[in-house]
Structure 1
């Protein structure tokens, strides 16, 4: 009767349907010396799983601390970032001082002429944008004529 039960458990084991208790039962059966002749081939499988439990590592592995390496690396990264920020501020400081002249004029007539030039330029660009809107409107009208929406 026990042999029949072991064969059923083996079939369930290879189908992946066994519980942990059933697998432990299979391990204990195959670790015993009285295994059926036709089931001897499975003894190696279940004996292999119990083998690592008996082996112990006798060699000590020295743990190397990377704490000092990480500390120096973080300090170096901080210095590089600070140097980068300092260089950026140093080289762009001159550009900021030069750009503070925002087009202010002392003579009101010159200011009026410059304002008119800027507004004419703006008007020209707006007119170009409006012309392209007319093209889109014509396209829309022709599309509605063709597809009759």
Structure 2
């Protein structure tokens, strides 16, 4: 085979545009042994493919039965869903104060809350007096500096 054609085929091979027949021509050229000196660097590549075709796996492959976990997972999901439906209790409607307590209990609670609010207001008034005291002391402290 012409050296020029082999060089073109090698260029096409590395561009990944060769056909199987052209690759076979390259393998045959590099397996003959009469290789041009500047193309010897490519010889191991094509010789490797030739040798790799001849290799066979001779060990026995142990075949284990395939377990179908997906089927059992879906069965378990359906079972959990069914148990959830069985024990499902809808939330009761909200209860109003009138339904829960008698009018007397509501009135006494309002009275207790009003008394509590009044005592809180007294405490807040005391804080207002304290704030006024703090303002006046700050005035005297800043004037003395």
Residue in 2 aligned with 1:2? 2
Over the aligned positions, Cα root-mean-square deviation in angstroms equals 2.5
Within-5 A mapping of 1:8-47: 8-47=8-47
Verify: 1:74 aligned to 2:60, yes or no. no
Q: What is the deviation of 1:33?
A: 2.3
CA distance in 2 between partners of 1:66 and 1:73 (Å): 15
Within-5 A mapping of 1:1-149: 2-88=2-88, 91-92=89-90, 95=92
Higher relative contact order structure (alpha carbons within 8 Å, sequence separation ≥ 6): 2
Unaligned runs of 5+ in 2: 95-145
Deviation larger for 17-26 or 65-74: 65-74
CA distance in 2 between partners of 1:59 and 1:43 (Å): 30
Q: What is the deviation of 1:68?
A: 4.7
Q: Report the TM-score, using the length of structure 1 for normalisation.
A: 0.51
CA distance in 2 between partners of 1:42 and 1:34 (Å): 13
CA distance in 1 between partners of 2:61 and 2:78 (Å): 34
Structure with higher Rg: it is: 2
Greater helix percent: which structure? 1
Unaligned runs of 5+ in 1: 100-149
Aligned residues: 94
